[in-house]
């Protein structure tokens, strides 16, 4: 009897500890495993750099950000059950939905918009070269950042507008952004895609001339990057998503109101490697204050991908693809 006492005590202590751990786990808010990228996602980076701007973090949700260099890998990780949501260009969400991936775009990160206040991805050629208009690209090559990316879509849209046939009249090759400037200058490609900070850096050097922007290529303002979540996660943890998006919209508001301070914080946290003085001067894409998705522009993009580019085998229902009900009202 005396020998059993320590055993009973041990079991009791273990039960109490396990019970406490279980209770703590039950109290913990849902974990959001979020795949994010390395360009143009300032509001999201700000939420990570400045947790004080995301008061719901730790209360209504916990955040586990996971960085990805390439878009398709983000969706593969999602399909493999390693992510609950992430960031992606609108057209990648369309591709994913076309292949039956159960994700929904829930908020906008940034948009390609016309106007002097915003940056729009720009295509440039050599100033003293033979390419003065898009039509002059016939027989040449355009550098885009990746096949079936937004940069590929805009280049193809511009070629079609100019009466040229992509792949037949003009080749499109993938090339990393830092390599595009030197490739255009050394005539390895006729025209290249430029985003910030490479656009400002190359413009400052001189010798390159813009031919068109992303907005001019398709003819309308449109979604560039969106936040997506898995449908199952949205159903299982609606309050966590609402809490996360409330913080996200608050961070967007802070970023838009205090752009320089926010950029300094983002830079200090290591999300941007461009020298600070250049980063602070860079023009920015348009970001919706409320994180609202421009659904009409996604519909136009989906139709263009289906009808003009043959990138989709069947139409994608964009209304079903976007769910903005989790955004703060």
If the CB atoms of residues 111 and 151 are measured against another protein, the closer one turns out to be 151
Taking the CB of residue 179, how many other CB atoms lie within 10 A of it?
14
What are 328's two structure tokens?
Answer: 């703060």
CB of 146 to another protein, least distance (A): 7
CB-based contact 100:132 (threshold 8 Å): no
CB of 235 to another protein, least distance (A): 18
Name the 3-class secondary structure at 283: coil
CB of 63 to another protein, least distance (A): 25
**Interface residues toward another protein, by CB under 8 A:** 71-72, 75-76, 79-80, 95-96, 98-101, 141, 143, 146-149, 167, 171-176, 179, 182-183, 186, 188-189, 311-312
CB-based contact 122:181 (threshold 8 Å): no
CB of 79 to another protein, least distance (A): 4
End-to-end CA distance of the chain: 65
CB of 30 to another protein, least distance (A): 22
Residue with tokens 């996604």: 298
- Compute the residue count for the chain: 329
If the CB atoms of residues 197 and 230 are measured against another protein, the closer one turns out to be 230
If the CB atoms of residues 68 and 244 are measured against another protein, the closer one turns out to be 68
If the CB atoms of residues 50 and 74 are measured against another protein, the closer one turns out to be 74
User: Which residues, other chains included, contact 263 with Cβ-Cβ below 8 Å and sequence gap of 6+?
Assistant: 42, 272, 279, 280
How many angstroms from the chain centroid is the CA of residue 251? 16
If the CB atoms of residues 190 and 197 are measured against another protein, the closer one turns out to be 190
């Amino acid at each position: 009897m005396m020998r059993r006492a320590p055993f009973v005590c041990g079991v009791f202590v273990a039960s109490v500890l396990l019970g406490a751990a279980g209770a703590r786990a039950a109290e913990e808010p849902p974990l959001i495993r979020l795949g994010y990228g390395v360009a143009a996602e300032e509001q999201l980076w700000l939420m990570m750099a400045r947790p004080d701007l995301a008061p719901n973090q730790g209360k209504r949700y916990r955040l586990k950000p996971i960085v990805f260099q390439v878009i398709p890998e983000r969706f593969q990780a999602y399909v493999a059950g390693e992510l609950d949501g992430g960031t992606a260009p609108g057209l990648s969400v369309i591709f994913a939905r076309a292949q039956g991936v159960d994700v929904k775009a829930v908020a906008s990160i940034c948009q390609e918009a016309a106007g002097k206040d915003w940056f729009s991805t720009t295509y440039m050629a050599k100033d003293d070269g033979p390419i003065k208009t898009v039509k002059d690209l016939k027989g040449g090559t355009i550098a885009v950042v990746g096949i079936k990316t937004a940069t590929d879509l805009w280049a193809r849209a511009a070629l079609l507008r100019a009466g040229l046939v992509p792949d037949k009249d003009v080749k499109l090759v993938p090339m990393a952004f830092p390599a595009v400037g030197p490739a255009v200058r050394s005539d390895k490609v006729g025209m290249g895609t430029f985003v910030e900070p490479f656009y400002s850096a190359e413009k400052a050097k001189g010798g390159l001339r813009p031919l068109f922007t992303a907005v001019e290529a398709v003819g309308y303002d449109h979604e560039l990057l969106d936040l997506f979540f898995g449908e199952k996660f949205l159903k299982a943890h609606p309050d966590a998503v609402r809490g996360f998006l409330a913080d996200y919209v608050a961070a967007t508001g802070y970023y838009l109101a205090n752009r320089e301070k926010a950029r300094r914080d983002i830079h200090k946290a290591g999300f941007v490697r461009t020298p600070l003085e250049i980063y602070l001067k860079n023009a920015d894409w348009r970001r919706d204050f409320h994180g609202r998705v421009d659904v009409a522009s996604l519909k136009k993009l989906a139709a263009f991908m289906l009808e003009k580019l043959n990138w989709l085998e069947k139409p994608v229902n964009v209304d079903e693809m976007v769910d903005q009900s989790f955004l703060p009202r």
